[in-house]
Structure 1
Amino acid sequence: MTDWPGVRERVLALAAVPGSDKAFGAMGHGFALDAPLTAAEVADVQAWFGVELPEDYRSFLLHVGAGGAGPAYGAFPVRRDGSGGWHLVGDSPEEIEPGLLAEPFPGGVDPVAAVRILAERPDREDFDDLADLDVALEMWEERLAEIQYDPRSTAGALCLCDEGCGLTVWLVVTGSERGRIWRDPRCDGTDLHPMRNADGSPSDFAGWYLGRLAAAEALCGLDR
């Protein structure tokens, strides 16, 4: 797929279909899309981020929209910021740190650091005073969060979508997983993992987006 034929029209048409607001997240995005970016704008986005975006996502920005309606609460729109640069706009997108997008995606939290910090969890038997245990647990949880949410855990990936309750979706743009979609459930204490299509194959941006679009159309009784 190079130009997403008819997809923008399909998305926008859902806004007028009875029952489409029952699709998860639709009450938030209302099946509205930002305007597509121009080729010059996409080139500028890539220059600003310092990476070449995966082809299906790049062509989505060119032919469907810069973001808006999509899976869950929608795809974070890519927009200019006050400095003339670009960023993804959403309720909970992760901050893009300069240079990190160009680093290979590591596939989640550093496993060595995670095992180490989990082994350091304070033990009730080591404390006579429960108040001291509470303080130790709070400090340990802070150290654990620093490891879980170390920005290097998601180097080489763009935070693409909010699924609600702290769950997010990432598009890998650098490294061996480039072009693939990963879900981020770190809010539940588990690590990032790759998303898969119905046939078990790794999900890319097009598969992720079109699969959710087809599901929304099926919910409304629309046959494709």
Structure 2
Amino acid sequence: MTAIWAGVRDRVLALRTAPKANKVFGAALNGHLGGQWGHGFELLPPLTEIELSEIERSLGVRLPAEYRDFLLQVASGGAGPDYGLFPLRPRTEGGDSAGSEHLRRPFLPGPAQEMIDAYEKREPVREACPDEEEYRRAWSAWNDEYDELDAALMAGTLCVSHQGCGYYTLLAVTGPERGTMWNDVRAVGEGVDPVRFLRPEKQRVTFAEWYSDWLLRSERQAGGENGNAPAR
């Protein structure tokens, strides 16, 4: 077992009976541990190497090492930051692939966001068009471009977690940012931004850092004022 994940599954499951488990954000809903949207500190079984290989074949990419080891050694989904990790399962008979074509494209958030910014500046205005019909045609054609640009912004990312209020957490699986975590904040028109801790020198956060940070904070919060996390 990879050292970074040793004991992690047992630590997460132990939080189910911690005295203040329902105080951890995303673990409970309306004070009921394991509610409709709460993960309740439950974990799905890990994947087998065969299952994971099948998923990667369907995705068309090999997943980043830290996330891959997590799936094999800890869980295929369940408890985690915010409302937990989305399940990653093998393709079912007759079902759609777990992934899509966009995963095979490189994740390039900077250039993609620049294209979106330029696109927004090109929105047609009524005053520049000779009549209402021409304005509607121009605006419709402009609006049709958005889906392609939005897809380019999300290319090469796997959505791994729901933060609530339409925000999501992404894992970059291709491109120069491969293995790093990103916030999908398109719900408020801000594109995607890298996950950052409070340390200014930490410009990028990997999957293992992201998950381990959540587990330590959860142990402290769920255990009460003094926490029940093991010494580090």
- TM-score (norm: length of structure 1): 0.81
**Aligned AA (2:109):** G
Match of 1:190 in 2: 190
Residues 108, 192 of structure 1: 8 Å contact kept: no
* Equivalent residue for 1:47, pick from 53, 57, 78: 57
**Aligned AA (1:26):** A
Residues 113, 191 of structure 2: 8 Å contact kept: no
The total of aligned residue pairs comes to 213
**Aligned AA (2:7):** G
CA distance in 1, matches of 2:220, 2:145: 42
* Equivalent residue for 1:83, pick from 93, 102, 127: 93
Residues 2, 56 of structure 1: 8 Å contact kept: no
Q: Does 1:74 align with 2:84?
A: yes
CA distance in 1, matches of 2:103, 2:126: 41
Residues 54, 179 of structure 1: 8 Å contact kept: yes
**Aligned AA (1:213):** L
CA distance in 1, matches of 2:181, 2:6: 22
| Structure 2 unaligned residues grouped into runs of 5+ | 29-37
* Equivalent residue for 2:117, pick from 112, 115, 118: 115
**RMSD of the alignment, in Å?**
3.0
Match of 1:64 in 2: 74
| SS at 2:159 equivalent | strand
- Once the 2 structures are TM-superposed, how far is the Cα of residue 86 of structure 1 from its aligned partner? 7.7
* Residues 111 and 60 of structure 1: CA distance in aligned 2, closer, same or farther (over 3 Å): closer
- TM-score (norm: length of structure 2): 0.78
- Once the 2 structures are TM-superposed, how far is the Cα of residue 212 of structure 1 from its aligned partner? 0.8
* Residues 140 and 190 of structure 1: CA distance in aligned 2, closer, same or farther (over 3 Å): farther
Identity of aligned residues (%): 39
Provide, for residues 24-71 of structure 1, a one-character-per-residue CA deviation record: whole Å limited to 9, x for no partner: 111211111100111111222222211111111111011100011100
- Once the 2 structures are TM-superposed, how far is the Cα of residue 116 of structure 1 from its aligned partner? 3.1
| Structure 1 unaligned residues grouped into runs of 5+ | 89-95
* Residues 29 and 79 of structure 1: CA distance in aligned 2, closer, same or farther (over 3 Å): same
